Copies of this chain bind each other. A is one copy, B any other.
Amino acid sequence: MARPKTQPRILEHPESDAITVQSLFEALADPVRREIVRHLADVGEHLSCGAFDLPVTRSTMTHHFSVLREAGLVRQYYAGTMKMNALRADDLEARFPGLLPALLTAMDRER
Contact = CB atoms under 8 A, between A and B. Distances in A.
Contacts of A97: 102, 105
A44 interface: no
A17 B93 CA distance: 28
Contact of A98 (B25, B95, B105): B105
A109 B24 CA distance: 14
Given A25-B28, A25-B29, A20 B110 contact: yes
This protein's copies in its complex:
2
Contacts of A107: 21
Nearest to A110: B21
5 contacts: A96-B109, A98-B102, A99-B103, A99-B106, A102-B103
Interface of A: 20-22, 24-26, 28-29, 31, 34, 95-99, 101-103, 105-107, 109-110
